[in-house]
Amino acid sequence: MKQTEQESFWSGDFGQQYTDRNTRDREEWDDFYVQNWGITKSEMNARFSADWSPDTRILEVGCNTGMQLRGLQDASFTNLYGVELQPYAVEKAKQTTQNINIIQGSGFELPFRDGFFDVVCTNGVLIHIAPDDLPKIMDEMVRCSRRYIWGFEYYSPELKAIPYRGNEGFLWKADYAALFQQRHPSLRLVKQELYPYVNASESGNVDYMYLLEKTA
């Protein structure tokens, strides 16, 4: 599949700068979430994954340097995979993770068989996919998941484009759980939590975490 405009953008220098700007150690990672949403990412994750067994097979699409996967590993999950488009981020991930399977690849063509994972998730990734391309990545995520689709993304009741560091056409917010369900009606919403930003500069903005389950 030919790279989309967004894939080319994130594969290049801008994506590398993003990785350098957003790579944090474990303590900094949780502190960042407390500063922005008043809760650690570890606690957010625990609210959605508390009933899962340690050997639950989890794939993160767009894992960057693996911060979310390291957080899940610290929460005792042992069967963790990541796919990341940007080669630079994959190399950094290999330097900072152990016993996590991270490969370079695209969410539009996941190199796994149908239903290989118990959970397929994203964290701030769907927001960077052009609306016309969302069906393809959503289809791939659903194809590879045996049971759950899990996400943490910018939230808006309606799809809305927003500028990103002076660039247009590279950031959107939406109700991604609803978009998944429109595309795949058999998905059931298990849980959803909204997280308003607590810092003044982001006043009025909301992110959210959601969990969808396949019923057919």
Successive 10-residue mean pLDDT values, the chain, 216 residues: 81 84 86 94 97 98 96 97 96 94 97 98 96 97 98 97 87 97 98 92 89 95
The structure tokens listed for 213 are 């389950």
CA–CA gap between residue 214 and residue 211 (Å, rounded): 10
Per-residue pLDDT, 1: 61
Dihedral angle at the C-alpha atoms of 98, 79, 83, 118, nearest 10 degrees? -170
CA–CA gap between residue 140 and residue 118 (Å, rounded): 14
3-state secondary structure of 196: strand
pTM equals 0.94
